Amino acid sequence: MADTAVAADTHEEHDPHATSLGMSHEKLGMWVFLGSDCLLFGGLISVYLLNKGRIGPDDIGPDEVFDIPFTSVSSFVLLMSSLTVVLAITALQRGDIRRNRIWLLTTALLGAIFVGGQVYEFTVFYREGLGYTTNLFGSSFFTLTGFHGVHVSVGIVMLMSMYLQSSRGKLGPAQSEKLEIIGLYWHFVDVVWIVIFTIVYLFPQ
Amino acid sequence: MTATEQATEPTGYEGHVSDAEYVKIALILGLLTAIEVGTYFESVHKAPDWLLILVLSTLMVVKFVMVAAYFMHLKYDDAIFTKFIATGLVLAYPVYGIFAFAMGWLPDWHWFAKVSLLVVPPVLTAAVFLFAWQGGNHDHDDAAH
């Protein structure tokens, strides 16, 4: 009997899924990734701040191209997508699969609207004469906001993969941590935009 | 509770904050965004640059903290996640700030405004994240012992 208990304890100690911190490795991994992504965006924002004023007297600068009301609506859309992804997670944890799917699709749709707005904005800027290589402001602006747009697009792909898993019956309350981790990534994309929107668009030029 | 059970158990957004409260938080975030956008209008935009930047930076930090605390669940999750992100932010901000400062950004500002911009945000972030919230889940300490 005692031998059995000892054997069970030994087995538990060698469980490959046990973690010394007592928490999910996947979630910790996502937080470490988000920490490193902070540094990436920090670098891109710093470069933008350094370059935004380095334009010639006849060059196109932020004042000529930014459409603040349009970008404000895009920002609001992305902000609300953070709410819908949280609602998707809580619905899944309650076992409400139907609402989980609705909120997942809504989040992906809001993300797609944001990316669509960014593509439209880039197109307008290009038609107004601001290309990627026009000046340092253009290069650093497109690099920063483009990287963010890629992050949102990757997030949409992850959300749709969750939706597909849910459609095949492979996503239930027991797998809610998967969606929670993708939610962390989505919220991070949102907080990065909070910083970009304020510093790039709203700070006095 | 064993480490394995702790690791595989759903962390549970549900239970700490209700859906209605999440909606309230989103509305507050929307309101803060509206205030931010309000500074773009001509009458407000005539205010001194340093004042606009101070107000916008404060609103930005408040929004950032609200999303991280409630939507990313840092307020209720294990304190180690908070420490990870806070340490990164607090260390990265002055590095990039000093870099931008050294490269000639903020050239015409009063020295106090420049130093404030470098020091205040990371200190506030550190204070809010590391001291006000200790993190909600310390079960792993019990498991470790």
> Under a CB-based contact definition with an 8 Å cutoff, are residues B33 and A79 in contact?
yes
Each residue's pLDDT tens digit, B49-107: 778 888 898 899 899 889 988 999 888 888 878 877 777 777 777 777 777 777 766 65
Tell me the CA end-to-end span of chain A in Å, nearest whole number. Answer: 76
Mutate to test the interface with A, among B11, B46, B57, B125 (most CBs of A within 10 A): B11
Does B137 have pLDDT greater than 70? no
**CA distance to partner chain B, nearest, from residue A24 (Å):** 5
pLDDT of residue B131: 61
What confidence category does residue B5 fall into, taking pLDDT thresholds of 50, 70 and 90? very low
- pLDDT tens-digit series, residues A96-121: 999 999 999 999 999 999 999 999 99
Q: What is the pLDDT of residue A18?
A: 62
Are B11 and A180 a contacting pair at CB < 8 A? yes
A24-47: b (≥16 Cβ within 10 Å) or e: beebbebbeebbebbeebbebbbb
Residue A99 is predicted with a pLDDT of 95
- The region of weakest confidence among A155-159, B20-24, B74-78, B91-95 is B91-95
* Nearest chain A residue (CA) to B137: A23
Please check the confidence at residue B121 and state whether its pLDDT lies above 60: yes
For residues B100 and B3, the model is more confident at B100
| Residue in chain A lying closest to B89 (CA) | A38
Q: Is B30 within 8 Å of A189 (Cβ atoms)?
A: no
Q: Name the pLDDT band for B26 (thresholds 50, 70, 90).
A: very high
A22 touching B, CB under 8 A? yes
Mean pLDDT of A169-176: 89
Q: Is the pLDDT of residue B9 over 70?
A: no
Nearest to A194 among B52, B64, B103 (CB): B64
Cα–Cα dist A132/B111, whole Å: 34
Q: What is the 3-state secondary structure (H, E, C) of chain B?
A: CCHHHHHHCCCCCCCCCCHHHHHHHHHHHHHHHHHHHHCCCHHHHCCCHHHHHHHHHHHHHHHHHHHHHHHCCCCCCCHHHHHHHHHHHHHHHHHHHHHHHHCCCCCCCCHHHHHHHHHHHHHHHHHHHHHHCCCCCCHHHHHHC
Which tokens go with B136? Answer: 């909600």
Counted domains in chain B? 1
Cβ–Cβ of B144/A22 closer than 8 Å? Answer: yes
Q: Could you list the residue range(s) of the whole structural domain that residue B20 is in? A: 3-144
In chain B, the residue whose alpha carbon lies closest to the alpha carbon of A24 is B7
Q: What does the pLDDT read at residue A15?
A: 56
d(CA A195, CA A3): 59
Q: What is the pLDDT of residue B8?
A: 41
Contact (Cβ atoms closer than 8 angstroms) between residue A82 and residue B26: yes
Do the chains contact at A19 and B103, CB–CB below 8 Å?
A: no
Is A21 near chain B, with CB under 8 Å? yes
Element (H, E) at A83: helix A68-94
- Please give the domain boundaries of chain A with CATH numbers for all domains: 26-202 (1.20.120.80)
Q: What is the mean pLDDT of residues A24-41?
A: 87
pLDDT digits (tens, 9 = 90+) for A62-77: 888 899 999 999 999 9
